[in-house]
Each structure stands twice: as C-alpha cells, then as structure tokens.
Structure 1
Amino acid sequence: MQPATEPSGGPTARRTFGVEEELLLLDAHTGRPAPLAPLILADVVPSDDDVGELSLELQQQQLEVISRPHTELRDLAAAIHGGRRQADRAAQHVGARVAALATSVHPATLRLAPDGRYARMRELYGLALADHLTCGFHVHVSIDSAEEGVAILDRIRVWLPVLLALSTNSPFWNGLDSGYASYRYPMNLRWPTSGTYEPFGSAWEYQKMVRARLNDGVILDEGMIYIDARLARKHPTVEVRVCDVCLYSDDAVLIAALMRALVEEEVRSWQAGEPAPVATAADLRAASWTASRYGLRGPLVNPLLGGLCDAADAMHLLFERVLPALRDYGDEATVRRLLNQIEQRGTGADRQRQQMRLGPAAVVDDAVNCTQLSPLDWPEPPPPPSAP
C-alpha cells in the first residue's frame, strides 16, 4: 500500500487512506482453518479487475488483502468488497473459502508461513507465536511528515478503544466462548511492543522508543512495533492496528471513514496549538480491555471524562469529534447510516454468538456468506462545483 497525501492548503485537501484485512482460510467442506495460503498465492494470476494485493500473513491459515490508497470513501468501500471477493475466488480454486473472522471458531493445528522472518520470530517468541492465529484490520491514513504523524498518535489514543468496540469480532477461541467480544485484542498483548502507549511528544522520541526496543532485543525490526497505532514502516502513513477484522465490509468502511476524519481533526487541533488529551497508558489499557470485553453490548470508558458510559454515548462523542472533517470530506450522511446500522444489528461478535446457538458449523457458514456481502448502496457523487 502506498498512500500519498494530496497537496495541503485548505479544508478541501483530502487525505488518502487504505486498509489491510487479514482473513481466515477455511476448508470448504469442514469449515476448519486450512494451511493453503502459499498454494493460493502460487496460483493467483493478476487481472485487470484486481482491486488490491493478496499476501501471506503469519500463519498459512491466513490471507491478507491490501488495498490501494483511495481518496473517496465510495472507492475504498468498493476496494474492500472487491478484495474480499478476489481472495475468495482465489481460495475456491484450491477447495477453500475466506471468512472475516478475527479468531477461529474451531481449534487448529497451525503451520507458519514460509518466510525467514517468521522463522526467526518463532525462535524468539516460542509458543506465543506458534499457537497464534488472529486476524486484524489496519487502516492507513496519509500524513505530511513524521512530526505530524506523532502528533496524531498522541491525540487519537483516547479514541482507539471506541474503534476497537466497533470492530469486535472474535468471541471464540479454540472452540470455546472466551467471554470477550474481542478475544483477539488480549491475545495480541502477549507481544512486548503491543497495546496502548504513552504520548511521544516528537518524532525523535518515537524513534528513540523504536531504537530502545531494537537494542533490548525484544523485536527483530521496526515492523514488530505492534502498538495500537504507529507510524508505518514503509509508507508515509499513520497505521491504526487496534481493530479486529470486521465481519461486515460495511463496518470496515465505517471505521476507515471515522479514522480518516479523526486524523484530520487531530491534525487541525495540533496545528491550532491545542494540547493532546491527557490519559496514561494504564488508563487506556483499562479502556481497551473494557472495549474488548463488552464491545457495544456493555459499558465503555468515556474517552473524554473517564469513568463508564453507554457504548452509544461513546460512539456519539467520537462522531461529534470528527463531524467537521466528515462534512469536509462529504462522508457525514454515510457515516450516520453506518453508525445507526451497527448500533441496531450489533457487531460481528454479536452475530457469531447468535449463530452459535445452531452450532460451530452455522457460525462458519454464516461468516463465509457475511464476508461476501456487498456494502451499502452508494449514491452517485455530487457533480463537481462549477469553475468560477
């Protein structure tokens, strides 16, 4: 993914954004995780309608779909849906299907992807890596500089638990109900550089943290900085990593739209000289735990005041925070519709638990179908303004 910022200079300048979705590969007959990613990728022939890149992930039971950068939300929505269809078509050639599940409903014997870096990670992390099968959703938003990126990281951190709650889609682990809406999130905290973070204050301090972890020997390279949001290693973007992969593509579109608008608003706050919100990493760890435990079906920590509030109130606070940017981007009506939709039907975790009443096979079959659902109908874009 190679996002690039459009020229700055006013509220009409648009940040590009793109996503990475990690999908489970499932045997088409048994519904169990199938180690087929290398075989699938060896068989993929690029075509004119490809909307993204298919790639290996940590385990052979996973396939990653990486979108191209986009400026318009409708185009990113089409890319997310198209990428899922592209991955599923490729999987079907080898007797598999893809499902946007952040953890597996069934136990699985995992097989590491054939990559030297992953082999070195296995030596470093042992069983913590060998039994690790989780699927995340990463949003990249373009930035103008590392300093701007760190200012964003310092300001978005209080909102990340709300985004996690919206994405929750991993209630099951090795055949058991975990009790969490996102069990993926606490599972990922096993890594020494994962989870919440203290404010950095400057790009120099951020890079100082990276150098310290490299010197500590707890990571192999900068790509193993797994905090909830980071500066991307290869691209001029902020990369938000806190979310589960979403069962519904609509929810992925919603989170991407909110994330881009949040980045825009926090840059404006930084440029206006406003201080970053005050919260310790411990405070935010508690907020993220609450989001992972309950999703949208329980309380969340109030992003601005602390203490518990209704999930709907937390979503409303986030929406109000980003509303000016949503209006500037023309995304307000779409985000309102998507927020109302997820509030009424629930998240992927809610859907999985409903289907589990019929058994694990029903969860898997339903997830395969939901993964391929088309996003909401998109109205035609308004005509461009007449030249003066």
Structure 2
Amino acid sequence: MNGARADATSIPGVTMGVEEEFLLLDSVSAQAVPRAGLVLADAAVLPGEVEFEGATLQPELLRSQVEAATGRCATVRQLGDQLGAARRRLARAAGKQAAVLVSSGTPVLDGPPPGITGGDRFERIAGAYEAVVTDYQACGCHVHVAVPDEEVAVAVVDHLRPWLPTLLAWSANSPFHRGLDTGYASWRMVQQMRFPGSGVPPHFGSAAAYRDQVARLVECGTLVDPEMSFWLVRPSPRLPTVELRVADAMTTVGETVLHAALARALVRTALDEVSRGKPAPVVRDQVAAAAVWAAARHGMRSSLVDPVRESRVPAARLLRELVEWVTPALASTGDVAVVLDSLERLARRGGGAQRQRRHAALGLHALVRALARGTCPGQPDDRPSPDMIEEHR
C-alpha cells in the first residue's frame, strides 16, 4: 500500500491495499527465468494510465519474480482496477522479454536457479538463510488494512489468529513443484515453514510485547531485521496497517479481490471486538501449527483443523462460518453481494489448486498457458478460453 489516491485517505478498517507477487516464466520452456530487471525497466517507461495511478512495481527476492503494490483503495472496484492495470502493464513488459507473467504460489516446472536480486538487504537475507532462500520461488498475496495505531494493530492480530488457516485453505494455489504434483494444495506454505517464526503468530497482548518478541528473534539471529518476520499476519513495519500474508498468489484478479474483501471484513470485525473490550479467542500454538499444515495439505478438499474447537471440521463449514462472522462488516462496506457471488463461483469451479490439477490433465505446459491467461487474459496468445475468462472474473 505504497501510494495514495486523493479520494481515498487512510481510514481505519476501510482503506486497504494489496501486494501481489508474480513469476516470470519463459514463453517457450515455461521455466522461471531471471528477467525481472528487464521487465521492470520496460514497464516503468510505458505510458501511464489513469487507472494505474497510486500503484507501484518493484523487484522481489529472486530475479524471476516481480511485485505489484496497489495504492490505498476504499472500494473493491477501485482495488480491482488497480490490480488489473498493474497486471496488464507487467504482462506487456514480460512479453517483450519473451516471458509470461504468472500468478501462482509456486512455479510448475523445474529450472535453473534464477539468482538473488541485487541489493544489500536481499544479499543479507540470502547470506542468513542460504539454500532455503535460493530455492524459494514462492509467491504470495499480502493485504494491508488500515488501523489507528500499533497498539490496536497488535490487538487485531491477536483476534485474527483463528481464521488464518481457513484463509489459506480457500486461497491455496500451489500444488506443483519441480514438475511434480506434491499432493498438497499449498506447497508454498510448506516451503515457508522452513523459515524460523513462520505460521500463525503467538498471542502478543500488547505492542510492547510484540516489539520485544521481534527484537528477541533479531538478537537470536533468526531474523535479518524487524521487517523480516514470517508470521501470516502482523502489524506492518512500515505502514499504519495490519498486513495479512497468508494467501498464495491467486491466479485471477477476482480471487484477489475476494480475498481482500474477506481480509478487510475480518479486520473490521476485530476492530469492533477490540473496541468493545472482547478478549481474543484462545488458540494454542501447536494446534494453530496443525491447522496451518492441514490447510496447506488439503485446501478445501477435506476437513481442516479448527484452532478453537481443536478438532477436525469440514473445510466448507469453516469457510461458511468465517463469512457469517464477517457479514455485518461486509454489509457496512457494501461487499456482501460480490463476496457471495465470488464464493458461489469458487464452489462451482473449485479453488486454485483444484483448477491447476484439472488443467494439468492436459499437460504441464497446458497448465502454464492456462495460468498465464488467468493472470492476464491475452497471454500467451490472443485466444483466452471461455473457461479462463470466467475464472478471471
């Protein structure tokens, strides 16, 4: 959430922004390729569009990845416009470099290591984590929602802990790794589990306790700096927001907008609970870790672990309970219809991991082409299928 439109100032529980990470894949081999610098340089000189105002493009950890960050958005329509504009700009630039832009939690095919993006911080990260990082071609979708201050942000984070595995399950979009079906819905999350301090954050209770825990991890050498935490939700270290980092990069703009709408509604609901002095639900750390693993393993195909009940519950039931929990917040921002419509389409067509497997039945290169068209219709040709057009909505 780096930019700001004049008509959308930062309003707690209302303004939001999204950071999307993308893969750059060779248009012939479909392997990840280290062309981020060239793509970003080309995208930066394209003529500006009004709908793109407020968004930024930037490098990511590996040279096969790029990131688009929207500005502050007050409505899901505004957010969708910025997301679509950024994708089109990056896709055009990628095409000039014989590459396609793909939104997926992991690359489908194996390929040579793309290398670390230059810069002091990226180099320090690579030095700290070595092969865990050089093999980490994982892409996520981060949602920022404005909050008043750090104290409230920490309280909101404490309230969001039970819902994170459900958000992961429905957004899971990375079943393939090095040309193989992993059997997981989110292999990205499995890879992220290799980093220290990943998963559902502990209960903090106060901003001071949060800062103390982050400082301790930095002092212990497991984090490069205070901005490096791997928790699935956190107070943003740079912005007055709560940052949800749980979702895989989702293929279509419509899915990203749905996730952002749910994330904002969860934050709004938590803000209301905090204002009324309601304590955060009790979630034991080991049960939370089990819930994240189950969500990564099964997605929406099976039962998940409810961190509060501490038992297995059908995934569809947990998603339904999440939506019911935040319906008043969705109604307050006018998002009920778009969320219910998107969820109905999700139930009919299946989540990202399920669709990836369906397309892979025609071959892995066919899957990559479908992912490219879903990310930005028109890639890698001008004949997007009706199936992918509906998925893009």
> Normalised by the size of structure 1, how large is the TM-score?
0.92
Letter of the 2:47 partner, please give it. Answer: S
Q: Residues 47 and 231 of structure 1: is their aligned pair in 2 closer, same or farther, counting only changes over 3 Å?
A: farther
Q: Residues 189 and 153 of structure 1: is their aligned pair in 2 closer, same or farther, counting only changes over 3 Å?
A: same
What aligned pairs does 1:309-320 form with structure 2 within 5 A after superposition? 309-320=313-324
- Kindly indicate whether residue 293 of structure 2 is the aligned counterpart of residue 289 of structure 1: yes
Letter of the 2:61 partner, please give it. Answer: L
The secondary structure found in structure 1 opposite 2:264 is helix
Q: Which sits farther off after the overlay, 259-268 or 115-124?
A: 115-124
- How far does the alpha carbon of each residue in 1:29-58 deviate from its partner, in whole angstroms, 9 at most, with x for none? 221111100111222215331352111111
The secondary structure found in structure 1 opposite 2:69 is strand
Count of aligned residue pairs for this structure pair: 374
Letter of the 1:89 partner, please give it. Answer: R
Structure 2 unmatched ranges of 5 or more: 378-388
What aligned pairs does 1:362-381 form with structure 2 within 5 A after superposition? 362-373=366-377
- Kindly indicate whether residue 93 of structure 2 is the aligned counterpart of residue 83 of structure 1: no
Match of 2:30 in 1: 31
The secondary structure found in structure 1 opposite 2:340 is helix
1: CA distance, partners of 2:244 / 2:392:
26
1: CA distance, partners of 2:392 / 2:41:
34
- Kindly indicate whether residue 268 of structure 2 is the aligned counterpart of residue 270 of structure 1: no
Measured on the aligned residues, the alpha-carbon RMSD in Å equals 1.9
Q: Residues 156 and 321 of structure 1: is their aligned pair in 2 closer, same or farther, counting only changes over 3 Å?
A: same
Q: Which sits farther off after the overlay, 41-50 or 26-35?
A: 41-50
Tell me, yes or no, if the aligned pair for 1:20 and 1:64 is still in contact at 8 Å.
yes
- Kindly indicate whether residue 54 of structure 2 is the aligned counterpart of residue 55 of structure 1: no
Residue of structure 2 aligned with 1:103, choices 96, 103, 106: 106
Q: Offset at 1:193? A: 2.3
Letter of the 2:79 partner, please give it. Answer: L
- How far does the alpha carbon of each residue in 1:134-160 deviate from its partner, in whole angstroms, 9 at most, with x for none? 001100001101011001100001001
Tell me, yes or no, if the aligned pair for 1:158 and 1:303 is still in contact at 8 Å.
yes
- How far does the alpha carbon of each residue in 1:197-242 deviate from its partner, in whole angstroms, 9 at most, with x for none? 2110000000001111111122221111110101111111111111
The secondary structure found in structure 2 opposite 1:55 is strand
2: CA distance, partners of 1:80 / 1:375:
17
1: CA distance, partners of 2:180 / 2:148:
45
2: CA distance, partners of 1:344 / 1:155:
31
What aligned pairs does 1:145-294 form with structure 2 within 5 A after superposition? 145-294=149-298
Tell me, yes or no, if the aligned pair for 1:3 and 1:235 is still in contact at 8 Å.
no
Letter of the 1:62 partner, please give it. Answer: Q
2: CA distance, partners of 1:217 / 1:310:
39
Letter of the 2:29 partner, please give it. Answer: T
Q: Which segments of structure 1 move beyond 3 Å, counting only runs of 4 or more?
A: 2-8, 373-378
Tell me, yes or no, if the aligned pair for 1:250 and 1:375 is still in contact at 8 Å.
no
Tell me, yes or no, if the aligned pair for 2:288 and 2:307 is still in contact at 8 Å.
no
What aligned pairs does 1:61-140 form with structure 2 within 5 A after superposition? 61-110=64-113, 111-140=115-144
Q: Which sits farther off after the overlay, 77-86 or 92-101?
A: 77-86
The secondary structure found in structure 1 opposite 2:142 is strand
Tell me, yes or no, if the aligned pair for 1:3 and 1:18 is still in contact at 8 Å.
no
Tell me, yes or no, if the aligned pair for 1:312 and 1:343 is still in contact at 8 Å.
no
- Kindly indicate whether residue 343 of structure 2 is the aligned counterpart of residue 339 of structure 1: yes
Structure 1 unmatched ranges of 5 or more: 379-388
Residue of structure 1 aligned with 2:305, choices 297, 301, 305: 301
Sequence identity (%)? 37
Tell me, yes or no, if the aligned pair for 2:2 and 2:56 is still in contact at 8 Å.
no
Letter of the 2:78 partner, please give it. Answer: D
Tell me, yes or no, if the aligned pair for 2:185 and 2:298 is still in contact at 8 Å.
yes
1: CA distance, partners of 2:209 / 2:252:
37
2: CA distance, partners of 1:29 / 1:175:
15
Q: Which sits farther off after the overlay, 30-39 or 113-122?
A: 113-122
Match of 1:45 in 2: 45
Q: Offset at 1:81? A: 1.8
- How far does the alpha carbon of each residue in 1:80-123 deviate from its partner, in whole angstroms, 9 at most, with x for none? 22221111011112111101111111112221111221112222
The secondary structure found in structure 2 opposite 1:25 is strand
